Amino acid sequence: MTAAVFFGCAFIAFGPALALYIFTIATDPLRIIFLIVGAFFWLISLLLSSFVWFVARAITGNRDGPIEKYLLIFGVLVSVLIQEMFRFAYYRLLKKANEGLKTINPDEPAPSMRLLAYVSGLGFGIMSGVFSFVNTLSDSLGPGTVGIHGDSPYFFLNSAFMTQVIILLHMFWGIIFFDGCEKKNWYPLLAVILTHLLVSALTFLNPQYEISLVSAYMIMVLTGIWAFFVAGGSRRSLKRYLLCQDKNFLLYSQRSR
Amino acid sequence: MQLFSHMHAVLSTVTCMRRSSIQSTFSINPEIVCDPLSDYNVWSMLKPINTSGTLEPDDKVVVVATQLDSRSFFWNVAPGAESAVASFVTQLAAAEALYKAPDVTTLPRNVMFVFFQGEAFDYIGSSRMVYDMERGKFPVQLENIDSFVELRQVALRESLELWMHTDPVSQKNKSVQSQVEHLLTALEESGAGVPTVVLRRLNQSQPLPPSSLQRFLRARNISGVVLTDHATVFHNRYYHSVYDTAENINVSYPGQQSPEEDLDFVTDTAKALADVATVLGRALYQLAGGTNFRDTIQADPHTVTRLLYGFLVRANNSWFQSILRQDLRSYLGDQGPLQHYIAVSSPTNTTYVVQYALANLTGKVVDLTREQCQDPSKVPNENKDLYEYMWVQGPLNSNGTERLPYCVRSTARLVRAVSPAFELGQWGSTEYSTWTESRWKDIRARIFLIASKELELITLAVGFGVLVCSLVITYCINAKADVLFIAPREPGSVSF
Chain mean pLDDT for chain B = 91
Q: How far from A68 is each of A136, A203, B198, CA to CA, in Å?
A: 21, 16, 83
Whole-complex ipTM = 0.87
Mean pLDDT within B17-37 = 92
> Which pLDDT band holds residue A97 (cuts at 50, 70, 90)?
confident
Q: Do B456 and A5 touch (CB under 8 A)?
A: yes
Q: Do B470 and A5 touch (CB under 8 A)?
A: no
**Is 3.40.630 the CATH number for B38-418?**
yes
- The predicted pLDDT at position A246 comes to 57
Q: Is the pLDDT of residue A232 over 90?
A: no
pLDDT per position as a tens digit, B417-427? 999 999 999 99
Q: Which residues of B touch A7 (CB under 8 A)?
A: 460, 463
Mean pLDDT within A61-80 = 83
Q: Is the pLDDT of residue A250 over 80?
A: no
Q: Residue B462's closest chain A neighbor by CA?
A: A8
Q: Which residues of A touch B455 (CB under 8 A)?
A: 5, 153-154, 157
Q: Do A164 and B471 touch (CB under 8 A)?
A: no
Dihedrals phi, psi of B382, to nearest 5 degrees:
-100, 145
Q: Do A8 and B486 touch (CB under 8 A)?
A: no
Q: Which of A96-100, A145-149, A152-156, B104-108 has the highest mean pLDDT?
A: B104-108
| Closest chain A C-alpha to B468 CA, distance in angstroms | 8
A239 CB within 8 Å of a chain B CB = no
Comparing CA positions, the residue from B405, B409, B358 lying closest to residue B382 is B409
Percent of chain A surpassing pLDDT 90: 52
Residues 197-236 of A with CB under 8 A from B: 231-234
Mean pLDDT within B465-469 = 94
Strand blocks (E) in B332-453: 364-366, 388-392, 406-410, 413-418, 436-438, 444-446
> Which pLDDT band holds residue A247 (cuts at 50, 70, 90)?
low
> Which pLDDT band holds residue B489 (cuts at 50, 70, 90)?
low
| Closest chain B C-alpha to A144 CA, distance in angstroms | 5
Lowest mean pLDDT among A207-221, B12-26, B277-291: A207-221
Question: Residues 6 or more apart from A39 whose CB is under 8 A from it?
Answer: A123, A124, A126, A127
Chain mean pLDDT for chain A = 87
Q: Do B457 and A156 touch (CB under 8 A)?
A: no
Mean pLDDT within B115-125 = 94
Per-domain residue ranges of chain B:
38-418
What pTM did the predictor assign?
0.75
Per DSSP, helices labelled H in B153-265 are 174-192, 213-219, 259-264
Question: Rounded distance, CA B334 to CA B317, Å?
Answer: 9
Say if CB A44 and CB A86 are below 8 A apart: yes
Per-domain residue ranges of chain A:
1-253
Question: Rounded distance, CA B481 to CA B33, Å?
Answer: 66
Mean pLDDT within A112-120 = 89
N-terminal to C-terminal alpha carbon distance within chain A: 65
Question: Rounded distance, CA B328 to CA B349, Å?
Answer: 9
> Which pLDDT band holds residue A245 (cuts at 50, 70, 90)?
low
A242 CB within 8 Å of a chain B CB = no
Q: Do A232 and B451 touch (CB under 8 A)?
A: no
- The predicted pLDDT at position B493 comes to 40
> Which pLDDT band holds residue A1 (cuts at 50, 70, 90)?
low
For chain B, list residues whose CB is within 8 angstroms of any CB belonging to chain A: 2, 448-451, 455-464, 466-467, 469-471, 473-475, 478, 480, 483-488
Say if CB B293 and CB B103 are below 8 A apart: yes
pLDDT per position as a tens digit, B128-169? 999 999 999 999 999 999 999 999 999 999 899 999 999 999
Q: Is the pLDDT of residue B492 over 70?
A: no
Q: Is the pLDDT of residue A255 over 80?
A: no
Instruction: Give A250 or B390, the one with higher predicted confidence.
Output: B390
Q: Is the pLDDT of residue A131 over 60?
A: yes
Instruction: Give B204 or A190, the one with higher predicted confidence.
Output: A190
Give the type of residue at B343: A
Mean pLDDT within B70-81 = 91
- The predicted pLDDT at position B218 comes to 93
Lowest mean pLDDT among A27-31, A97-101, B364-368: A97-101
Lowest mean pLDDT among A206-210, A248-252, B55-59, B468-472: A248-252
Say if CB B367 and CB B341 are below 8 A apart: no
> Which pLDDT band holds residue A148 (cuts at 50, 70, 90)?
confident
pLDDT per position as a tens digit, A192-207? 999 999 999 888 887 7
| Closest chain A C-alpha to B487 CA, distance in angstroms | 6
- The predicted pLDDT at position B496 comes to 36
Question: Residues 6 or more apart from B212 whose CB is under 8 A from it?
Answer: B65, B67, B116, B119, B123, B125, B126, B150
Going by the DSSP 8-state scheme, the letter that residue B169 receives in this structure is T
A145 CB within 8 Å of a chain B CB = yes
Percent of chain B surpassing pLDDT 70: 98
pLDDT per position as a tens digit, B33-55? 999 999 999 999 999 999 998 89
Give me the sheet containing B110-116, strands edge to edge: B198-201, B161-165, B223-228, B145-151, B61-67, B110-116, B38-45, B413-418
pLDDT per position as a tens digit, B233-266? 999 999 999 999 999 999 999 888 888 888 999 9
